[in-house]
Structure 1
């Protein structure tokens, strides 16, 4: 499964939409800051965990390759971030609002995309094809049950976003530990729910950030020996050590356009010194497929943002 074939698989299922990402096509750009409290430096010497404040560019998105798909509460939501750090370093991370990934390997993910594609007659996946996929992927069955037991929140602003993959963190003494991270929502000013419609999730978060900044706590979970680092379908125990390392604040949202998150590749293997990839096979695959998606859309005609704020403010 080459990066080219993987990108072809998205186009096969969702169609080809010039200028848009092959997955998480529908989104809005974000700007804000991350204020580190210094606590993360205990396990990682990366500059992002030293005390200080760093500019952030981000993106809210919905999974799938249809840029104009209707917002539904069950669709996986994404939060991607780029942190600008001292000495020209960056940290990029792409997260989702489900607590585990549904596939252990890139090949499993590619096969599930096809198995879950809607058929023309019903607009839903072929039950027989999906059943056959699940019979051969028991890890996906377990992950789906774990996700189903933890239903999504009402919108982007109150979602917890999970990095899913394990990474290796090294501190100033040279000690290396496995870590996963989450961004957990802080207290937000309540806003009226937007009217129902195809863009209700994006309408809701745009209205919220226009009223007041939105915040999330960055929490590092430190793995113990024996915790899997190569299987994102398996959660670590809830009682693992957690370190609150700082606060992300989103201060504005923008329709995607030249110069903002539209043109960023949120490659999760772009890491500052002190953070490194683990043995999770999804990481190298994500990096390669994200790059392929970026190359394709960079050479295509650009289309208007899938989310237009004038629709929110009308």
Structure 2
């Protein structure tokens, strides 16, 4: 296509449109802040939402102006739809053509100044959208399954994963007790350990781990999960670089665009639809619906991904949530986190793109 727009910090997605909705991304030992609101009817009140924000404060300390989880991030791109997605969904994003995207790479954790480690769960939040029109938000992880299937499980694991100052590791006794009380997480972690992380962001496969329904023009509803499959490798982080994973992807983007194929996988009858700790069999039908292209990185600033919460329930017509309790949970606490951080003094981004050397 000619005259292809480059959607980075100066995206054509209007600020009005990107401010509609709230959200974030998830992770491994300190998963998505959002997996905690209405799940299993354990949460729902403002007081309980405060409990979770206080939990992040206890684990990560006070980080004014930053997201309470996935505090470190960078932004970027566009999406080329091939039209095949229309067989599953009537959403405008799947009509053949190009859609602007604002995105954010992130790592798990609420302390933006902690050094990058390759084993930390990586997130990619994306807002697909048209100016002044419906958007599709998705928060994805480089994990094969989500570690928890309940709000209580998430909260208990958050506290169990708190680092002990003397060892700089979680308390083994606390983690053992947590895993004994939550066998679903123990099983999920065993699956995760069989999928070691890739070298960097650029060669990571990112997955939407919750189930949604796609609805096509005929009204047919299909239970789906989706994934982004990389079309390139990635350089490893440089030794001694505190922002090694982020700096590596910034350098990689300077050398040219990065691309991922967007695959939508359709459930068979009997597949688990409300428990993201359970994977679907590898032989399920997948439809390649287009290509995500990321063109540039930019320091978080007013008007770009800094002002977006990547709430997975910001959905266009043609995409509907399943009954997975973690979906509504994420929106509720995301909103509380968003209100809190936007009411705090703004802090400089932990990743300053212009300061990344060659």
TM-score scaled to structure 2, two decimals? 0.85
Q: What's the counterpart of residue 282 of structure 1? A: 326
Equivalent-residue separation in structure 2 for 1:286 and 1:221 (angstroms):
22
Residue 16 (structure 2) aligns with: none
Partner of 2:60: 14
Alignment of 1:192-207 (within 5 A): 194-207=238-251
TM-score normalised by the chain length of structure 1? 0.96
Cα distance in structure 2, aligned partners of 1:243 and 1:86 = 27
User: Quick one: which of 253, 258, 273 aligns to 1:229?
Assistant: 273
1:256 aligns with 2:271: no
Match in the other structure for 1:72: 117
Structure 1 stretches lacking a partner, 5+ long = none
Partner of 1:300 in structure 2?
344
Distance between the aligned counterparts of 2:354 and 2:214, measured in 1?
A: 43
1:178 equivalent in alignment to 2:211: no
**Over 3 Å off, 4+ runs:** 190-196
- Per-residue deviation, 1:118: 1.0
Contact 2:89 2:214 (8 Å CA) reproduced: yes
Secondary structure of residue in 2 paired with 1:307 = coil
Match of 2:150 among 105, 116, 119: 105
How many Å separate the matches in 1 of 2:179 and 2:236?
Answer: 40
1:41-97 CA-to-partner distances (Å, cap 9, x unmatched) read 111111111111000000000011011110000000010000113761100011111
- Number of equivalences: 312
Which of 26, 31, 36 is the matching residue for 2:72?
A: 26
Q: d(CA) in 2 for partners of 1:243 and 1:51?
A: 14
Q: Distance in 2 between matches of 1:244 and 1:70?
A: 36
The structural deviation recorded for 1:313 is 2.0
After superposition, the CA RMSD in angstroms is 1.4
The DSSP-based 3-state class of the residue aligned with 2:163 is coil
Q: Please state how far the C-alpha of 1:187 moved relative to its aligned partner.
A: 3.2
